Structure 1
Amino acid sequence: MQRKRKESEMNEHSFVMGVKAMKLAKALEPVQLGSMELRNRIMMGSMHVGMEKLEAGVERLAAFYAQRARGGAGLIVTGGAAVLPEGGMGDEYCHVCGDEQIPSWALITKAVHQEGGKIALQLFHAGRYAYKDATGLDPVAPSPLQAPINRWAPRELTADEIEMTIQAFADGAVRAQKAGFDAVEIMGSEGYLINQFLSPVTNHRQDAWGGDFERRSRFGLEVARRVRQAVGEEYPVIFRMSGLDLMPESTSMEETLRFAAMLEEAGMDALNVGIGWHESKVPTIAMMVPRGAYVWVAQQVKQAVTIPVIASNRINDLRQAEEILEEGRCDLVSMARPFLADPQIVSKSAEGRFDEVNTCIACNQACLDHIFDGRVASCLVNPAVGREKEWALVPAGVQKKVAVVGAGPAGLEAARVLAERGHQVVVFEKQQEVGGQLNYARQVPGKEEFNETLRYYRTQLARLGVELRLGVKASADALLAEGFDEAVIATGVIPRRPDISGIDLPHVVSYAQVFEKQAKAGKRVVIVGAGGIACDLSHLLVQDESISPQAAQYLLDYRILDARALQRMQLSGRQVFMLRRGKHVGTGLGKTTRWAVLANLKRHGVEMLTQIAYREITRDGVVIQQGEEERLIPADTVVIAAGATPNDQLFHELSGRLPVHLIGGAKEAGELDAKRAIWEGSAIGRVI
């Protein structure tokens, strides 16, 4: 059993791009951006984190950026700083509209410089993406065309307002200089204002600022020229351009490459290549997007210019960055969310400690989902984001022997933090492997990144000397007999069995039995439930992974199969239904990824029936009532995925006999809520 588990862990770890241990010669090589030399080629890309609206928000931001500078980032780019109030996003985002904001920004630059880092301010204008209920002002745009992700329609900018906006970018750059920033980055991608002027989708003007490509490109070029003129020839200016809009009938690749060359002529020191618009129907940074899927776009831009080009999107491992740079596909690599997951990603990797990196899994659940929901950004795998000062790990005043029961995400994080603080930690897990319900998620096609989280915890627990007892079901008497000082109960959940006639029939199984391969699904599957775990299960059931990626590429290269035929072969042929009493499918999925998950399931033929009543489960399937109609949904297998209840029995048995803490699913049953579980584990680890 031990040998099989070791082999399994090695296979999981091979997911890391298939890259071998390597020296990061190119990634750690200094690089010149205009007059500025960076210590390496790894940039922390811009992210809105929303800390400004919290108490002591500027101090929090300063600590946040300083920690990333200390961790080795070559250059940090701030979240977008609005150059005009109507171009911002309300209290959640920073501004650089007036001189009174300079002292606050100076606190941030000072903190970064004290850690030996360099930082650039991103000059930002949301255009038609700005929310009136946040700014109190009408959004503005090149044309009065409403964005599908904004309930407020913009008004069209006048020629005078366009001139004022261009000057606002220049004035913002001067304020950045005065605040001590080492450079500025002009935000011209992701569907924001400059991008809106360039694209024929959003620019329907017929004056000097719209029409043909030359006039549509004029606004972005004027901003670039005016900023360059305002800050002088020696001050570094980066332009974040859209390399691929992923919008029908938008800017062509030929126009994009022409625009890149024009930006170089306008005096830009580097081009940072962004991908996609926020309203695009193509996922660009979610976990389902393959790593490095858009580097080819930056490579095309690099061939069109002589200044440094920066590649981004789904690059989360410095070994991957090293290969991209060594192949000459770009000059720098931008990582944004990986610096949320692990502020030390550069320093750890530089020392060859790749297994110790807490890898970004691109789940979006605590970063983008929070921001688009008006909350402060954090990180699912690193809840210390935004709490850098108050959550700094300090040694325990009294070292204790602590039992952690359950090795799911909550228990693993609790054990890690407790051990970091000097406690003696023993983890009990009744299964033969760690991970809990993360072991379900990592089986789902497109969610393999969860393997990285499990690799991180295995490495950390081994490094910290945590005793791991697998295949052991802890009991209250045993814990008391062993003399533990305190216990953390992270025993997870028990799948719920709804009261439906026929639920005890032999072809009715729980979602846990399918994920754990205790039950095999037939060709016709009905899932009772349509939440996040039912969506994961559906995705798993419709895919056929018998064809490896290498085999698939071979079949395509030699034209044995075309893309459509190959796609058909990669489907299992199962007919899958998801049923729900309520109105919505996929509740519990993240705001920024739910649409892509559901679209993918529909594309693979999964049928979703909502607002139904269950009549009974029969040997032939599930009888439901939908409106006035009663019908049988045929099924060889019926899977129950209708929620869960907390597995808290051990907690109650220990209460009053031992100081005991309840976290994760054992405290509150949720649908694979790893974000809350890891947060609670991290919090309790700091309390004991």
Structure 2
Amino acid sequence: MSHYPHMLAPLDLGFTTLKNRVLMGSMHTGLEETKDWNRVAEFYAERARGEVGLMVTGGIGPNLEGSVLPGASMMVTQEDIDNHAVITRRVHEAGGKICMQILHAGRYAYGPKCVAPSPIKSPISPFPPAELDEDGIEKQIADIVACAERAREAGYDGVEIMGSEGYFLNQFLVTHTNKRTDRWGGAYENRMRLPIEVVRRTREAVGEDFIIIYRLSMIDLIPNGSTYDEVVQLAQEIEKAGATIINTGIGWHEARIPTIATSVPRAAFAWVTKKLMGKVGIPVITSNRINTPEVAEEVLADGCADMVSLARPMLADADFVAKAMAGKSDRIAPCIACNQACLDHTFGGKISSCLVNPRACHETELRIEPVGTARAIAVVGAGPAGLSAAITAAQRGHRVTIFDRAQEIGGQLNLAKQVAGKEEFWGFVDWYRSMIADLDIEVKLNTEVSANDLDDYDEVIIATGVVPRDPQIPGQNRDNVVSYVNILDGTATAGRRVAVIGAGGIGFDVSEHLVHDGDSTTLNLPEWMREWGVADPAEHRSGLAPEGPQPHAPAREVTMLQRKTSKVGKGLGKTTGWIHRASL
């Protein structure tokens, strides 16, 4: 009997059946842009071997003007078809199914040739788009349809048409970006004409036995976005036009409400998808912050959706579904939604990876293979670096012992997990604990290591971490001055007025910790929605509360100080720094 009967149940699409209800959602990894198609294929094949029901590639441009940035991967030539066939063959050999996402970025395209329904520049791109005329719109439709035909020729099982997150098709839907007065603008029937026409013509071109996923924005979270009734109307028309599945999109990229960061509650937007259930006759997928089999099962059992989309959890652990099937969910490396090596890398022009799993997107380079001769290895330090080294060495067949002078494993993760909004770090430490037990790694805690303790080992890995820098400020030895370590580990208590010296990541974490009393809003969805101004789209257009964000009263008065003259928090994560600054 499966522990996850809803998640692991097959889904019959009529002409094909998915082995379970888990979709690996689309992610921009930068892999396609490497042109190393063996590397790209292995990334997807490893997830196929991990038993995921269906995968969607990163966004592939249908033409130059729609590509997310110059040099981004497109599907426009026979060479493109041949390259992508390497991916689909490898995935099918591994027993998987895969769809290609067709992504037209519209005004979000990071290039001077971008196009849009109206010439309104995006706040997240430096280039003002050109307004399309009738012929220009027709060209975009034809290019998207041709892209889908090429995807089929390349062996894909289907396509996902990106119609959410503020990209091209989404831009036509709302008056925020569509100021047209012709048949593509004005009344909603005109504004939704483009996505319907794209799906209808795509279905005509690819035939009936080909998956078409439409990515529908369920809640825009921007001014002048769609109403709930408009979302339902569009979903029903998209079904009539020939879509196989509707996938949930949450928020535009320019929205000032976090949607996938670690401080967002788990499954925070599943209730939005649930509102569409029963309104259409095709399967509906929900997404965002679903990162464990338990959360996925609960969402499906509660009738929020027919499938769940997990994107970054598949970076953290390619074997997510296989481990759940085997009853080993405690050994699934957890996605902590940090954004550090995935989204931050993507927006920094780097290949994506994963803080939890450095092999993500580097499967052909970082190969963990059995050793010919097992050695005795000592790892000094039970923080994340030491624990990761120990696990990898043990997986290769070495005999490993970990030493640490602390009384528990985890190092500074045990400080991070005390910060409101970083509750996922508790599970990260638990995962390390499970893996150590599973691999029979010996752990010696409360142990101050000397050279003599290491005589019997063939190799020693030093992973003792860092110590805080001494700022050497006159008066720092007074009783009212404490280390951040003592604040976060609970050995010191702060008063009502606190000065935090340092405005980097730790300074922000400590400040966040100090302004909270009681439960974190990350653990209380209604409170989190109130804090960020999220409302029911059936009551308020676009899901924006009319009163705006309503943050809780701070528990203390905190002043952050830094020596630099740059903006406070400038060095924070590219995709999460704004959240921390806005919160404080």
TM-score (norm 2): 0.93
Contact 2:70/2:110, CA 8 A, preserved across alignment:
no
Tell me, what secondary structure is at the counterpart of 1:419?
helix
Corresponding letter in the other structure for 1:524: R
Tell me, what secondary structure is at the counterpart of 1:508?
coil
Matched, 1:600 2:583: yes
Tell me, what secondary structure is at the counterpart of 2:482?
strand
Contact 2:291/2:334, CA 8 A, preserved across alignment:
yes
CA shift, 1:226, in A, is 0.9
Alignment match, 1:579: 561
**How far apart, CA to CA, are the structure 2 residues paired with 1:598 and 1:477?**
48
Q: Does the C-alpha gap of structure 1 residues 326 and 158 become closer, same or farther in structure 2, counting only changes over 3 Å?
A: same
Alignment of 1:212-611 (within 5 A): 212-480=187-455, 483-545=456-518, 571=553, 573-582=555-564, 583-601=566-584
CA shift, 1:440, in A, is 1.1
**How far apart, CA to CA, are the structure 2 residues paired with 1:100 and 1:431?**
56
**How far apart, CA to CA, are the structure 2 residues paired with 1:551 and 1:510?**
30
**How far apart, CA to CA, are the structure 1 residues paired with 2:410 and 2:169?**
45
Corresponding letter in the other structure for 2:450: S
Q: Does the C-alpha gap of structure 1 residues 92 and 485 become closer, same or farther in structure 2, counting only changes over 3 Å?
A: farther
Alignment match, 2:83: 104
Contact 1:51/1:92, CA 8 A, preserved across alignment:
no
CA shift, 1:475, in A, is 1.7
Contact 2:379/2:461, CA 8 A, preserved across alignment:
yes
Tell me, what secondary structure is at the counterpart of 1:120?
strand
Contact 1:82/1:88, CA 8 A, preserved across alignment:
yes
| Unaligned residue ranges in structure 2 (runs of 5+) | 530-544
Query: 1:73 pairs with 36, 52, 73, which one?
Result: 52
Tell me, what secondary structure is at the counterpart of 1:223?
helix
CA shift, 1:390, in A, is 2.4
Q: Deviations over 1:129-167 (max 9, x none)?
A: 1111xxxx4111111100001011111111101001101
Tell me, what secondary structure is at the counterpart of 1:494?
coil
Corresponding letter in the other structure for 1:532: G
Contact 2:420/2:520, CA 8 A, preserved across alignment:
no
Tell me, what secondary structure is at the counterpart of 2:230?
helix
Alignment match, 2:538: none
CA shift, 1:335, in A, is 0.6
**How far apart, CA to CA, are the structure 1 residues paired with 2:33 and 2:20?**
32
Corresponding letter in the other structure for 1:199: V
Tell me, what secondary structure is at the counterpart of 2:275?
helix
Aligned-pair Cα RMSD in Å: 2.1
**How far apart, CA to CA, are the structure 2 residues paired with 1:573 and 1:40?**
46
Q: Does the C-alpha gap of structure 1 residues 598 and 547 become closer, same or farther in structure 2, counting only changes over 3 Å?
A: closer
CA shift, 1:91, in A, is 5.7
**How far apart, CA to CA, are the structure 2 residues paired with 1:552 and 1:200?**
29
Corresponding letter in the other structure for 1:76: M
Q: Deviations over 1:559-593 (max 9, x none)?
A: xxxx99xx88x656311111011122224421000
Q: Does the C-alpha gap of structure 1 residues 547 and 68 become closer, same or farther in structure 2, counting only changes over 3 Å?
A: closer
Alignment match, 1:31: 11
**How far apart, CA to CA, are the structure 1 residues paired with 2:73 and 2:14?**
26
Corresponding letter in the other structure for 2:211: P
CA shift, 1:336, in A, is 0.6
**How far apart, CA to CA, are the structure 2 residues paired with 1:79 and 1:549?**
28
CA shift, 1:389, in A, is 2.0
| Between structures 1 and 2, the one with greater strand share | 1
**How far apart, CA to CA, are the structure 2 residues paired with 1:548 and 1:175?**
46
**How far apart, CA to CA, are the structure 2 residues paired with 1:431 and 1:584?**
36
Tell me, what secondary structure is at the counterpart of 1:322?
helix
Higher mean C-alpha displacement, 385-394 vs 375-384? 385-394
Q: Does the C-alpha gap of structure 1 residues 552 and 307 become closer, same or farther in structure 2, counting only changes over 3 Å?
A: closer
Query: 1:43 pairs with 14, 20, 23, which one?
Result: 23
| Unaligned residue ranges in structure 1 (runs of 5+) | 1-20, 557-562, 602-688
Corresponding letter in the other structure for 2:56: V
Q: Deviations over 1:165-186 (max 9, x none)?
A: 1011111111111111111111
**How far apart, CA to CA, are the structure 1 residues paired with 2:255 and 2:150?**
33
TM-score (norm 1): 0.79
Tell me, what secondary structure is at the counterpart of 1:251?
coil
CA shift, 1:306, in A, is 1.1
CA shift, 1:114, in A, is 0.2
**How far apart, CA to CA, are the structure 2 residues paired with 1:175 and 1:551?**
45
Contact 1:34/1:236, CA 8 A, preserved across alignment:
no
**How far apart, CA to CA, are the structure 2 residues paired with 1:104 and 1:264?**
31
Tell me, what secondary structure is at the counterpart of 2:204?
helix
**How far apart, CA to CA, are the structure 1 residues paired with 2:75 and 2:371?**
42
**How far apart, CA to CA, are the structure 2 residues paired with 1:370 and 1:122?**
20
Q: Deviations over 1:188-243 (max 9, x none)?
A: 01110000011110111111111110111011111011101111123221111111
Higher mean C-alpha displacement, 320-329 vs 184-193? 320-329
Alignment match, 1:174: 149
Corresponding letter in the other structure for 1:579: L
**How far apart, CA to CA, are the structure 2 residues paired with 1:186 and 1:404?**
48
Matched, 1:122 2:101: yes
Tell me, what secondary structure is at the counterpart of 1:533?
helix
CA shift, 1:547, in A, is 9.0
**How far apart, CA to CA, are the structure 2 residues paired with 1:518 and 1:571?**
25
Structure showing greater Rg: 1
Q: Does the C-alpha gap of structure 1 residues 248 and 325 become closer, same or farther in structure 2, counting only changes over 3 Å?
A: same
Tell me, what secondary structure is at the counterpart of 1:425?
strand
**How far apart, CA to CA, are the structure 2 residues paired with 1:552 and 1:168?**
41
Q: Does the C-alpha gap of structure 1 residues 172 and 449 become closer, same or farther in structure 2, counting only changes over 3 Å?
A: same
**How far apart, CA to CA, are the structure 2 residues paired with 1:308 and 1:184?**
15
Q: Deviations over 1:607-629 (max 9, x none)?
A: xxxxxxxxxxxxxxxxxxxxxxx
CA shift, 1:22, in A, is 6.7
Contact 2:421/2:520, CA 8 A, preserved across alignment:
no
Contact 2:144/2:198, CA 8 A, preserved across alignment:
yes
**How far apart, CA to CA, are the structure 1 residues paired with 2:278 and 2:348?**
39
**How far apart, CA to CA, are the structure 2 residues paired with 1:279 and 1:547?**
25
